[in-house]
Chains A and B, each alone.
Chain A
């Protein structure tokens, strides 16, 4: 493990794993947690810290990956770990990074780079904590990775809708009824696109899905190697919240990618790079219909053909009308139309 010296803050140089057989064997998130059967977020925690390695500090804001993982005396974390409040993943990352930098500057701690990773759920990251995360992504002098594990609901409190819950989904705050079939009618926020577009000091933003584990770990390694503040959005199928058989978590993640609903990409220094199946979609491979994904989940069981068609049309829009397909929703004004408008 070498240290980068080309950056203001040295980072650990974490080369990508070249294939599954090259992945290190050591685990830093082990037994001792109490997550559900088929929990993808627990897998994300395990892969995240496996990718980061032993010189890592993990900060977790309130959510299921805090409460289910960190009962006193039974922590699965092998690396140092700290809880922070629901809205504070960004500010805890900032404080920890600033503290470590000072200790190293004063010679009170060995001046070898330490990864600081703060994780948050979709409630903590896209709702309450978004301000603090946004602020942290402007502080280029401190190295930290914010990883948002998105299981599309407040899963810790038994599945309430968040800013990242998909359109129409059944949650305990949006139970479909006879009067209103769809209670939740807001389209999911585009977190990765928002973070990438709005934070000029953030050099690396990526989306991941644990169904593609090696790619996921390599994006974590890339983020930590680049340094400064970085952001990763992980889509995590949740058997309890999404209502499907726990054995299908992996397939559910694949379908989210293959339908084009959740694109896999990274934005490094402003350059967008698509990955895996998403890249194939960009290159012209047909997207699977979103119904194949939606109808496998109980949370969409109340959808009618009309709802499915609307959902499909929104996904089509992401791919057909966005200037950078499925990443940022900007479009150029049609040149002819603009000319006519001037007259």
Chain B
């Protein structure tokens, strides 16, 4: 083990909330421009960055703007001017940004943004619900879902490496309150470790009078199509870029990451599948099922866009039953992750796998391990699976 890796592994742990953990990560990434706009429960991210800047731990400009739409427009312009940028939002703010999310991806601006999953109005609420970010799945953003403050910190740094490799924006996502405001011991790496991992941003082109270029001209159908196909190709490359960043980070810190994370999967016949911190509850449920003699395992989806269909189906192994927990709902369709998993299984000829879709924890409702065990037992009842619309909402 190198001295550097050793120092990284013995890094002092600090008690941090999820929001503050990403603020530390953003500061370590050395962004030059950070447009800021408040929204619960994201605000502590940007407040902490203001503190870090005052303390000299961040050199970039915090730029107060008048809306999230402008926050993203400012990010895009600064990114095309040639600098690294960061911002954070949640819920209504993400919805207001929607137009500019498409724009950032189409302009191939490697923006990194944190979104704290929060319910969308109406009715008004402040609770964990993944529909806000999952509703942005077609915008061309890479999406990574985190389950703990430590993972968020690590993922924000990996996100920059991925974004700047494939030239697509990256959204780092975690749930309101359960993660954003939960305190956990977090290892904050030193600047030396981050410098080894994330080189300074050196774009191939930028807005520069010394080398004039035009960005964002109106395109013909063929040019527009070529742009979208290039984005799709970049998304394909992003799968490997995410794996590479997670692996390299693991070498430096001992905390490696992949597109998916498995738990007790080796001989699992029933697999619980979820994205985000709700997977932690499912993990406890797996232990209880195992104690009861049920060969259960957990698959946590970390990368949602691009959707890691091959990694996911491969990780499922010999499982014959998959229970998907969705803390989100596409009204009129149901669980969004379940729909994606179903498509992935079909594409990989895994048509024998029985898939059960549960809406679990919508609107921040607490989901207990017992409830998840109940879902698994429901899925293991003999006979064909019922029509999905008849499946009970577990909690």
Contact = CB atoms under 8 A, between A and B. Distances in A.
A334 B120 CA distance: 52
Interface string A93-113: 111101111110010111000
A54 B218 contact: no
A132 interface: yes
Nearest to A92: B77
- Top 5 nearest A-B pairs (CB, nearest first) are A99-B81, A95-B77, A83-B216, A88-B73, A91-B70
B154 to A, nearest CB: 26
Given A85-B100, A102-B60, A57 B217 contact: no
Contact of A102 (B33, B70, B209, B219): B33
A85 B104 CA distance: 11
A92 B73 contact: yes
Contacts of B82: 99, 103, 108-109
B78 interface: yes
B212 A132 contact: no
Nearest to A71: B218
Given A73-B217, A82-B207, A132 B73 contact: yes
Interface of A: 54-57, 59, 66-67, 70-75, 77-85, 87-88, 90-96, 98-103, 106, 108-110, 114, 131-132, 134-135, 139
Contacts of B33: 95, 98-99, 102
Contacts of A56: 209
Nearest to B224: A72
Contacts of B61: 98, 101-102
Given A80-B213, A82-B216, A132-B70, A95 B208 contact: no
Contacts of A102: 32-33, 60-61, 78, 83
Interface string B241-263: 00000000000000000000000
A54 to B, nearest CB: 6
A70 B214 contact: yes
A91 B73 contact: yes
A92 B70 CA distance: 8
With a 10 A CB-CB cut-off, give which of A66, A98, A131 has the most chain B CB atoms: A98
A91 B77 contact: yes
B265 interface: no
Contacts of A79: 209, 212
Interface residues of B, number: 43
Interface of B: 32-33, 35, 60-61, 63-67, 69-71, 73-83, 85, 99-100, 103, 207-220, 223
A109 B210 CA distance: 10
B76 A95 contact: yes
With a 10 A CB-CB cut-off, give which of A88, A108, A114 has the most chain B CB atoms: A88
Contacts of A78: 212
Nearest to A78: B212
A35 to B, nearest CB: 14
29 contacts: A55-B209, A57-B81, A66-B218, A72-B219, A74-B217, A77-B214, A80-B211, A81-B213, A82-B207, A83-B215, A83-B216, A84-B73, A84-B77, A85-B99, A88-B70, A92-B76, A93-B77, A94-B35, A94-B70, A94-B74, A94-B77, A95-B33, A95-B35, A96-B77, A96-B207, A98-B63, A100-B207, A102-B83, A131-B70
A278 to B, nearest CB: 32
Given A80-B208, A99-B33, A109-B208, A90 B70 contact: yes
Nearest to A83: B216
A124 to B, nearest CB: 12
A82 B70 contact: no
A199 to B, nearest CB: 13
Contact of B220 (A59, A72, A90): A72
A135 B218 contact: no
Contacts of B66: 131-132, 134-135
A99 B209 contact: no
A135 B217 CA distance: 26
A204 B117 CA distance: 42
A72 B217 contact: yes
B214 A80 contact: yes
Contacts of A73: 217
